[in-house]
Amino acid sequence: MKITIIALSHKIEPWAQQAVEQFQKRFPADWKLTIKELKPEDRSAGKAVDQILAKEADRIRAAIPTGSKVVALDERGERLTSKALSDQLLKWHNASEQLTLLIGSADGLDSQLKAQCHALWRISDLTLPHAMVRALLVEALYRAWSIQAGHPYHRE
């Protein structure tokens, strides 16, 4: 399964990058995880937030691999348990689907872009810093894989 995370952010803190890299290394060869960082739009130019998000959305669309299932992370998205995430990923893996996960900028994601996604998922009911969301997302993906693989990482 190919998984792409498209993240609108400035360079993330070293602790978060280290966590992401540690989990990326643990995935098996048939679960390829790639992170594409896109620079957020400049917010100092006095543009309206909806204009900024629309420009960011154009860049995100251009970065999405062709034919990919697209899921946006959103505070109003579906709450998933680790098992439910694992089951969904297994379905897509078995169907040879590619998955792209979107992490928005400080103002989130464009509403039209979110409407075009296959699903909206939430990482937490809390508001979290971007770096933490990225690390938590990669850990959740690894945990989901470990459930299906029967790996002892996940315990219930």
Compute and round to an integer the Cα radius of gyration of the chain. Answer: 15
Check whether 127 is labelled as a binding-site residue: yes
Does residue 125 have a known ligand-binding role? yes
Q: What is the DSSP letter of 114?
A: H
DSSP code of residue 108: B
At CB < 8 A and 24+ separation, what contacts does 59-63 make?
A: 60/6, 60/8, 60/102, 60/109, 60/113, 61/113, 63/6, 63/36, 63/38
6 is in an annotated binding site: no
Query: Any binding-site annotation on 73?
Result: yes
105: three-class secondary structure by DSSP: strand
Cβ contact 78:120 at 8 Å: yes
**Residue 30 among known ligand-binding residues:** no
Q: Is 141 annotated as a binding residue?
A: no
Residues of the binding site for S-adenosyl-L-methionine: 73, 104, 123-128
Residues of the binding site: 73, 104, 123-128
